[in-house]
Amino acid sequence: MEKVKLTHMTEASGWASKIGPEALAQVLCQLPKAYDKNLIVGIETSDDAAVYKISDDIAIIQTIDFFTPIVDDPYSFGQIAAANSLSDVYAMGGQPILALNMTCFPSCMDFSILGDILKGGADKVIEAGAVIAGGHTIDDKVPKYGLSVMGKVHPDKVFKNANAKAGDILILTKPIGTGIINTAVKGEVASLEEEKNAIEVMSALNKYASEIGCKFNINSCTDITGFGLAGHAYEMACGSNKSIHIMADSVKFIDGAEKYAKMGLIPAGTYRNREHLKDDFNNKIKEEYVSDLLFDPQTSGGLLYSLPEEEGMKLLKELEDSGVDAFIAGYVTEMEDKHIYIE
């Protein structure tokens, strides 16, 4: 039997299939405003998940994420999609406790493929220390998979993406470039080693980076996904009313990402992400491929921490000592002419 190429069943893979930020903003602004005194985090700040206080000691975190295949191997797709969904809980400083599968799958395909996808997801949920308690499936031409995840956190220890302070440094816990690598894989120009490395990065849980981060005085946090490093930094800058400077020379890229960016293997989401910022960013970098990498839509990207420099250097060392491929991605200033500066 011929092996099914899952990525050939969709036009856009992983988080590159996400609706662009500008179009999404136009829809969300029409939703009615809801108020509940126990709702700690809602839709107002573009945070990664909702947080609801249920007692003085416990708040629940609720999130949902699913997307189209980012790789051809079903088990790896399940792992990556689950790691991506769980990441939203880690980005809020929480611990996942319960998950539900969300699956779209064509009834004409071999259901052993679906079984492998679900097995990959289940193994990641087990690694996270949570349980899968059910789910929902729909017959659809294009496979899609993800999780609805519930987590818990102390109400006073919630990480938010809108509290960055001037003088903070930004630490990112994974290299970027997954959108470009996956475009190269789909175009059958990436090497097996480059593909394998990207899969390892995308399927790695942010659990360990989050557990370390919770020991420090984090001012702001988000995970880097569909809007790219620049786009999610922009959300943090806007919510905090600060300017963020991305230090392009310090940013780590996945093996092969720079090479393929120079070749022009850029996913469409990159252009949507850059268009959304329009005139609210200042790019001081001459090489366009570097800008492409910073706007590249990530799938299951790392955590972006904003915290005081002295604390940040201690955090960076502990992350590195634990094997997390973290690095300083930039710094925060009082609000200048633009929200984002690439330098």
- 297, 176: one domain: yes
- 188, 149: one domain: no
Closest CA to 298 of 231, 221, 205: 231
Among 112, 133, 157, give the residue marking a domain's end. Answer: 157
Residues in a beta bridge with 245: 331, 341
Burial (CB count <10 Å: 0-12, 13-18, 19+), residue 136: exposed
Q: Which residue segment(s) compose the domain that 256 sits in? A: 168-342
What is the DSSP code (8-state) at residue 248?
G
With a pLDDT cut of 70, the percent of the chain lying above it is: 96
- 185, 144: one domain: no
- 131, 259: one domain: no
- 296, 184: one domain: yes
By the 8 A CB rule, do 248 and 285 touch?
yes
**Residues lower than pLDDT 70 in the chain:** 1-2, 11-21
Closest CA to 183 of 45, 12, 43, 51: 12
- 143, 181: one domain: no
DSSP E strand stretches across the chain: 39-41, 50-53, 59-67, 95-105, 131-139, 144-153, 168-172, 220-223, 242-246, 281-283, 303-308, 327-334, 340-342
* 124/119 Cα distance (integer angstroms): 9
pLDDT at 205: 98
pLDDT at 1: 47
- Which CA distances in Å does 1 have to 4, 10, 115, 188, 209? 9, 21, 17, 21, 41
- 172, 144: one domain: no
How many domains in the chain?
2
Look at residue 137 and give its three-state secondary structure.
Answer: strand
pLDDT at 221: 97
Whether 286 is covered by a domain: the verdict is yes
- 189, 129: one domain: no
Q: What are phi and psi of 312, to 5 degrees?
A: -60, -40
Q: What are phi and psi of 62, to 5 degrees?
A: -130, 130
Structure tokens at 5: 């190429």
Whether 195 is covered by a domain: the verdict is yes
Q: In terms of DSSP bridges, do strands 340-342 and 242-246 run parallel, antiparallel, or are they unpaired?
A: parallel
* 229/249 Cα distance (integer angstroms): 14
Structure tokens at 34: 């809801």
- 295, 322: one domain: yes
* 33/30 Cα distance (integer angstroms): 9
pTM over 0.95: no
Whether 36 is covered by a domain: the verdict is yes
Structure tokens at 84: 């991506």
Closest CA to 4 of 121, 105, 126: 105
pLDDT at 263: 96
Whether 206 is covered by a domain: the verdict is yes
Among 103, 129, 157, give the residue marking a domain's end. Answer: 157
Domain CATH code at residue 335? 3.90.650.10
- 148, 184: one domain: no
Estimate the share of the chain in helix, then strand, then coil, as percent rounded to the nearest 5.
40, 25, 35
pLDDT at 33: 78
* 42/333 Cα distance (integer angstroms): 26
Q: Residues 6 or more apart from 74 whose CB is under 8 A from it?
A: 6, 113, 114, 116, 117, 120
Whether 267 is covered by a domain: the verdict is yes
Domain CATH code at residue 142? 3.30.1330.10
- 262, 187: one domain: yes
- 125, 193: one domain: no
Whether 322 is covered by a domain: the verdict is yes
Closest CA to 292 of 318, 331, 258: 258
* 226/17 Cα distance (integer angstroms): 8
Whether 162 is covered by a domain: the verdict is no
Kind and range of the H or E element at 100?
strand 95-105
